[in-house]
Amino acid sequence: MRYELYYWPGIQGRGEFVRLALEEAQADYVDVARASESEGFGMPALMRLLEGDDVRCPPFAPPFLKAGDQLIGQTANILLFLGPRLGLAPEDEADRLWAHQLQLTIADLVTEIHDSHHPIASGLYYEDQKPEATRRSSDFTETRLPKFLHYFETVLARNPAGSSWSVGDRLTYVDLSLFQLMAGLHYAYPHAMKPLARSVTRLEALYQRVGARAHIAAYLKSPRRQPFNRDGIFRHYKELDR
């Protein structure tokens, strides 16, 4: 099956968590909004599904995935669907629910990362809410970020399978998402992450190990991997990284 991934062009955003799973599995997919309009893709194709009156189960916002006749929205939900099909989910039902629970917790952290630089409104520019962002990011780096990262460190330490992965004894989509979290945090908050990384050694090792996997390493070097920038979720503002 050829999957169609719908996400905004120009940023990694929440779509990157899905891209990493597709890239690791070497799945056949098209990144619709970044593909050619002359071939029926591009932003017009994304907007047709996002705003079309004939879409029976309309998604609220990208990312969403088209798989045959199915249209699936929400990052964690997409990965719940893709995981078993790409060999990136546990076979046991209880472990699949555990993986989904972890992915939902990752989604919570992603929201807090976004709100650290946009604490008032997504529709306002960062420059319109800098004082509030300074206060929010200070609490984020001092309190919330350590809480989340230490939680994931505990998850890795308590894996019943005794492996260095987050769920079971092999890589899952959760590990790929944790890689993306760490990559983004090292970009956005290098100063805050320096001491934190020393306190979450399992998580840091997972980040390095996933990044070195053949398919992921090749993807990271390719033009398909868009660079972090100040339009996405992970943004580096020196004044917020204290």
Does residue 41 form part of some domain?
A: yes
pLDDT (tens digit, 0 to 9) for every residue of the chain, 242 residues total?
899 999 999 999 999 999 999 999 999 999 999 999 999 999 999 999 999 999 999 999 999 999 999 999 999 999 999 999 999 999 999 999 999 999 999 999 999 999 999 999 999 999 999 999 999 999 999 999 999 999 999 999 999 989 999 999 999 999 999 999 999 999 999 999 999 999 999 999 999 999 999 999 999 999 999 999 999 999 999 999 98
Domain range for 12 is 3-86
For residue 133, what are the contacts with CB-CB under 8 A and spacing of at least 6? Answer: 116, 117, 118, 119, 126, 237, 240
Same domain, 103 and 23: no
Same domain, 100 and 206: yes
Does residue 52 form part of some domain?
A: yes
Looking at residue 124, its pLDDT comes to 96
Same domain, 36 and 119: no
Same domain, 114 and 134: yes
Does residue 226 form part of some domain?
A: no
Does residue 131 form part of some domain?
A: yes
- What is the token pair recorded at 147? 């809480």
CATH number at 101 reads 1.20.1050.10
Does residue 238 form part of some domain?
A: no
Same domain, 131 and 205: yes
Does residue 229 form part of some domain?
A: no
Does residue 148 form part of some domain?
A: yes
User: What's the rounded Cα separation, in Å, for the pair 56 and 53?
Assistant: 8
| Total-model pTM | 0.97
Looking at residue 210, its pLDDT comes to 98
Same domain, 133 and 166: yes
Does residue 234 form part of some domain?
A: no
User: What's the rounded Cα separation, in Å, for the pair 30 and 145?
Assistant: 33
Q: Is 183 helix (H, G, I), strand (E, B) or coil?
A: helix
Domain stops at, among 62, 86, 110: 86
The closest of 234, 144, 153 to 201, measured between CA atoms, is 153
**C-alpha count within 13 angstroms, C-beta hemisphere, residue 242:** 11
Same domain, 79 and 26: yes
Same domain, 100 and 205: yes
CATH number at 58 reads 3.40.30.10
How many domains would you assign to the chain? Answer: 2
